[in-house]
Chains A and B, each alone.
Chain A
Amino acid sequence: MSETILSPGSQTSIKARFFVFARNNLGIISVLISLLAIVLALLIGAILIAIAGINPWEAYSFLLKGSFGNRYGFGETLTRFIPLLFASLSFSIAYKSGFFNVGAEGQIYIGAIGALLVGAYISNLPPVLHITLTLLAGFVFGALWAGIAGLLKIFLGSNELVNTMMLNYVAIFLVEYLIHGPLKDPHLFIYQSSPILSSARLPIILPKTPLHAGFLIALASIVIVFYILYRTPIGYQMRTVGANLRAAKYAGINIVGVTLVAIITTGGLAGLGGAVELMGAQFRMVAGFSPGYGYDGIGVAIMGRHNPVGIVLAALLFAIIRVGTGAMQRGAGVPFPLLSVIQGLIIIFVIASSYLISKLSETTIGGRA
């Protein structure tokens, strides 16, 4: 902490001291502010839980116990974390490149369909090859699905936010049709696809929990994504296009090429998330395969402020909420609607509190102390 810029004795010295501290520790302060917002939401939740006649302390202890306190819950939380991470990476890399992709949900479904086609219908492959091909299929299908919106943007200048959103609905209806018709498991009474073969399934990496190797793929993806974005020429170009299109044009960057890369990676990452969820956790396509991971991914990316640590923390928060609220229901009997209320409050409070963080970073970095 440098003392030199302080003017001793002046009225603003405490304020100035604070700003210097804040500038050097913006990360910690952001996390603290978000935590405070969560605590506030939980406090309101506690009042509601108490009104419902349940001990809030006990209820919240189940939230933590269910998501961290035992081996299985811990594994489950990290398993839920996987698709959330993929969805948020998908959103972030596109956002950084100036492409607003809210279509991760649909890309997850279509990616999973791609993985299903390879994983269930191509047999007699050694596992390593089969898994690789299945993952690849997920990536390619997701990328192609995002590509529809991408090409419409590149060639017709069509708004991708709207198109990716429309594609979510189309994807879900399409999958519904497929599992009612061509891809229905003929041995089953009900509408589900055939399961993927065991050679295409991801192994469990933490025994006696559902945690599968997709976790490692997710962690690798986050490293790769941010390496590409911040350490490679193409990443630099993507960020330039995202930050200032006009400057990118002046700099002679190939806008179409860069946008294409962004579209392929954003769709591919979401599709990969769908493939990994299919190969590691669910094995069959069902209606409601993704309970909104794609939409949660947007929340995760924005809450995580598009940086790797932030995204990991935010994805963990969403995973904890998903898993822990189940435990609150089972353990303390907190009714489902209340959990939904608490979840909504957490999202609103955390996002609203990001106002303080922006304000702080503007003031301190802008040097207007």
Chain B
Amino acid sequence: MEAFLMGTAVTWLAMAIRMSIPLLYAGLGGLVSQKAGIYNFGLEGMMLCGAFFAYYGSYYLGSPWLGLILAVIVGALLGLLLGFTSISLRVSQVVIGLGIGILGLGLTSYLYRLLDQSGAAHVSTLFPIIPIPLLSGIPFFGEVFFSHNFMVYVCFGLVILISWFFNHTTQGLNFKAVGENPQVADSAGVDIIRYRYIAMLISGILASLGGAFLTLTQTALFIENLTAGRGWIALAAVILGKYNAWGVLLACFLFGAADAAQMQIQVMSLGIPYQFLLMIPYIMAMLAMSGVVGKVRAPAAMGKPYIKQ
């Protein structure tokens, strides 16, 4: 029995990590843009485009690396589109984000149909799983944490990097100032517009990588609307994570774990309505927002375009 529970826990945790990584990439993307004071409501569309172009690159150009590069380029372009409209044109970030979602769904489906005229299976090349030597041999933890593909490890690395950047570098603190109080930052000589553009560029790339993770490591196929709403969950994870990279990591893991638990509970044949399990992370995000699970405060200048006085 104990061995069985242990096995289930390993399966569940490893699954939870795989389910949470695409959310985490996109969530970090959302975090970077929100730190600079811009809502990225386009995460879903950017993820979907990333997933398609990564798949396309890997399938047509024959290497997942080329797929990854394509995804980065497309993500950067979409980030700049949202950046241009919200920073330079100062129009509604929320609605443009929604527009990018609809556009992304249409564009990827259309290109996929052009590609898929023959009806044969197009299977792309995936990144292999790289067990980390020694560490992967540790019972339990080895399989949960150290037997994944390289994009998982990179993602954890990004969490450390982003957290360090925002808390320990001048540029990182400038970024925060841009999101908190652009007037003050401006008078201190910080180029608001430039910082916000950089934030959107990175945000787009990270969101796109979240989609690319799905098609470069999880499934070798592309299906219309492959991301199936994961971008929106990532947006929620940014708040549940209290605008902090480590928090976003935990939040994404919670969403992934709830989803994995929902599946695992079925395998274990327990009769809990799965809808309630799926609600938990959203309710937790609300509680977090309300100070019940620690206080969350959004950057003060969130959503407000900056006009130089």
Contacts and interface: CB of A to CB of B under 8 A. Distances in A.
Interface of A: 48, 102, 149, 152, 156-159, 162-163, 165-167, 169-170, 173-174, 176-177, 180-181, 295, 298-299, 302-303, 335-345, 347-348, 351-352, 354-355, 358
Contacts of A298: 94-95, 98
A355 B110 contact: no
Contacts of A163: 286, 289-290
Nearest to B283: A170
B279 A173 contact: yes
Interface residues of B, number: 43
A159 B89 contact: no
A166 B281 CA distance: 9
A338 B114 CA distance: 12
Contacts of B239: 159, 162
B298 interface: yes
Q: Which of A149, A167, A177, A180 has the most CB of B within 10 A?
A: A177
Contacts of A169: 232, 236, 279, 282
| Contact residues of A: prevailing secondary structure | helix
B104 interface: yes
Given A166-B283, A302-B95, A347-B99, A152 B290 contact: yes
Which 9 residue pairs across A and B have the least CB separation, nearest first? Answer: A344-B103, A340-B106, A337-B109, A341-B106, A347-B99, A337-B110, A158-B290, A344-B102, A355-B89
A36 to B, nearest CB: 15
Interface string B262-278: 00000000000101101
A344 B286 contact: no
A156 B99 contact: no
B230 to A, nearest CB: 13
Contacts of A341: 103, 106-107, 110
Contact of A166 (B106, B275, B285): B285
A149 B236 CA distance: 15
Contact of B286 (A167, A303, A340, A342): A167
A354 B90 CA distance: 9
A273 B189 CA distance: 49
B234 to A, nearest CB: 12
Interface string B187-226: 0000000000000000000000000000000000000100
B279 A344 contact: no
B43 interface: no
Q: Which of A157, A167, A173, A344 has the most CB of B within 10 A?
A: A344
Nearest to B39: A161
A166 B282 contact: yes
Nearest to B90: A355
